[in-house]
Structure 1
């Protein structure tokens, strides 16, 4: 009887484990987007070139992440977004994104957006 119960419960336990692993992957990617957006906003606020800002965000962001930089008045807004596949081979894409805003440092010219 115990063997039959174990045979019924084991697939459910594997599904729960897969769901927990997928959630950890998604949360990790979200945190990487948050960190990348913050680092990019700091670099842009210092007046770094757009290429440098994108390089800074790419080093901290998940693979394949897109970075958007915009300057509005005395603030710079950096958005990092990515799509992650938490279950690997299963084609289930989950989008994660984060935005960070920073005030431009004194003396930094307000340039265009990228």
Structure 2
């Protein structure tokens, strides 16, 4: 005890008067790995959203080209996809309907490498039966 009646704390062995944090470096590593994983997941999600938007816009641009009576629907779809940061991998025109498939590349940290976000979209005129995916039934009474 010191003169004021309180007990003095003794520093821990090997510590210059302070307490060490048990597992501090290990905890910091796990926080770092968790942060990198969150960035990787965010990048992949962002690429997926970019691919979806690029596919939608490319299909709509191609369908607008078909509706205007001009040729080159797939060329227009490709230029819109490239402008959206994607690559057009498939374009098919059947009548007034344009189907596209695009990919977006994303680099994932932690040595995982590059991944591809793939998306497809379909656009065309909406008539009495709507526009349905090939080989799928569509309910017209419930709309």
Bin the TM-score by the shorter chain. Answer: 0.7 to 0.9
Decide whether aligned partners of structure 1 residues 83 and 59 sit closer, same or farther in structure 2, where only a CA change above 3 A counts: same
Q: Whose Rg is larger?
A: 2
Q: Any unmatched runs of 5+ in structure 1?
A: 107-114
What is the alpha-carbon distance in structure 1 between the residues aligned to residue 98 and residue 23 of structure 2?
Answer: 58
- Report how many residues are paired: 103
Deviation per CA, 1:46-72, whole angstroms, max 9, x where unpaired?
12623222111111134xx34321123
**Corresponding residue of 2:53:** 35
Matched-pair contact (CA < 8 Å) for 2:81–2:88: no
Please, what is the CA RMSD of the aligned residues?
A: 2.4
Q: Which has the higher contact order (CA 8 A, sep 6+)?
A: 1
More helix by share: 1
1:99 aligns to 2:129 (yes or no): no
TM-score (norm 2): 0.62
TM-score (norm 1): 0.76
**Corresponding residue of 2:85:** 61
**Corresponding residue of 1:109:** none
What are the residue-to-residue correspondences of 1:1-114 with 2, within 5 Å?
Answer: 2-47=20-65, 49=72, 50-62=74-86, 65-87=87-109, 90=111, 92-104=113-125
Deviation per CA, 1:46-99, whole angstroms, max 9, x where unpaired?
12623222111111134xx343211234421111113321218x3522221111
Q: Any unmatched runs of 5+ in structure 2?
A: 1-18, 67-71, 128-143
